[in-house]
Structure 1
């Protein structure tokens, strides 16, 4: 970096320091997205190397998935809630890419069998226009890069706009999230899809997405999320 550019960058960082979404502390020059203290406090799971983990159990008897795991534990109070909130509502899209790069390296060494593509759970177009982005997209792209496969955001669509369902029970979420489908006239060949989302709670959203994908015949689906509520 040229000296004048570096000086301007240093002045900008001094006036508008990047803060940690976990604790609001200013990040040091060698910290990326999260401060070191918050990074060490993240409740990381080992579900990607554990059969019968809590995420897989969510889908038992409901829909067939090859593999299911979540990177973090989500609690109503805690650092993961802060991260997801900043990602979804504060424009901090770098959180999704930060988590995606990290989890992508984990999934390379996981029980996940080779996949053909990564597919993010979509937002309804109205909600995406309002937010300006799909909070899952960066996470999905980074996982796809790590697995060296394509990220396809043109597979699934959300056909009905619904308010957030994060803390609603399974019946309410089932009714609200029954409006997922694949793109019109889409023909999927036999393949293995890794479906990704931000949080899995009751599993209703992901279950409907899996059902939509599996209408295409010999399509296998695995699941990876940023977090799971326990």
Structure 2
């Protein structure tokens, strides 16, 4: 009886206060979660996890020795993927990160992409974390780890200095801005592991390169990189 009453109240709530799709803002139908069915299947996926040589992987060639790199979606200004990421980063939509992370992990589970033992998010500096209240990459990484049965480790790497915004910097300045930014938490460092480093968006890759350099100081580490989107 209680279950039936709860279902009725949930149905009424949905009628008057429908949950909206995080990408297109249309009301979600019963049974849909985070994304409507159309967006779930038709947002612009890259399928780079099926290709060892791809545009995202090329960002890191000759800069840092990784096994593989991929992004799940293509990023275009003003389009649905940008809206999705904006809600994750600035509108407290942590569920978006978890959901997309799980989608990514489910899609990659049976692909050639290296299976991680540990999933590590790119960390925010303490000041930015306090300002925003959360690290969006934590939730992407946690969702991915859950779907892959991997260990989620948000504190293995940390930022040891605050950096200026990368948005208006040229490519070379971005790399210089990220020099020696990250350090390893030695108490959590596990050697001889496949580690997946996760971020929200890949542009030049300078942040990920700096973070990867720190992780590769751990003996025997095999590193891969993934993000929700690539610009």
CA shift for structure 1 position 184: 5.3
What residue is the counterpart of 1:226 in the other structure? 228
Over 3 Å counting, the alpha-carbon distance change for 1:166 and 1:95 in structure 2 is: farther
CA shift for structure 1 position 164: 4.2
Over 3 Å counting, the alpha-carbon distance change for 1:215 and 1:87 in structure 2 is: same
What residue is the counterpart of 1:144 in the other structure? 145
Q: Find runs of 4+ consecutive structure 1 residues off by over 6 angstroms.
A: none
SS at match of 1:115: coil
SS at match of 1:136: helix
TM-score, length of structure 2 as denominator length? 0.91
What residue is the counterpart of 1:93 in the other structure? 94
Supply the distance in 2 between the matched residues of 1:199 and 1:35 (Cα, whole angstroms). Answer: 22
Structure 2, gaps ≥5 residues long: none
What residue is the counterpart of 1:83 in the other structure? 84
Supply the distance in 2 between the matched residues of 1:23 and 1:208 (Cα, whole angstroms). Answer: 34
Please say which of residues 7-16 and 193-202 is displaced more in the overlay: 7-16
What residue is the counterpart of 2:8 in the other structure? 7
Supply the distance in 2 between the matched residues of 1:53 and 1:124 (Cα, whole angstroms). Answer: 30
> 1:118·1:152 contact (CA, 8 Å) conserved in 2?
yes
What residue is the counterpart of 1:57 in the other structure? 58
CA shift for structure 1 position 132: 1.7
Over 3 Å counting, the alpha-carbon distance change for 1:163 and 1:84 in structure 2 is: farther
What residue is the counterpart of 2:135 in the other structure? 134
> 1:169·1:202 contact (CA, 8 Å) conserved in 2?
no
> 1:74·1:80 contact (CA, 8 Å) conserved in 2?
yes
TM-score, length of structure 1 as denominator length? 0.91
What residue is the counterpart of 2:184 in the other structure? 182
Structure 1, gaps ≥5 residues long: none
> 1:117·1:194 contact (CA, 8 Å) conserved in 2?
yes
Over 3 Å counting, the alpha-carbon distance change for 1:67 and 1:104 in structure 2 is: same
> Is 1:191 aligned to 2:207, yes or no?
no
What residue is the counterpart of 2:205 in the other structure? 203
CA shift for structure 1 position 7: 2.9
Aligned Cα RMSD in Å? Answer: 1.9
CA shift for structure 1 position 189: 1.6
Supply the distance in 1 between the matched residues of 2:137 and 2:173 (Cα, whole angstroms). Answer: 22
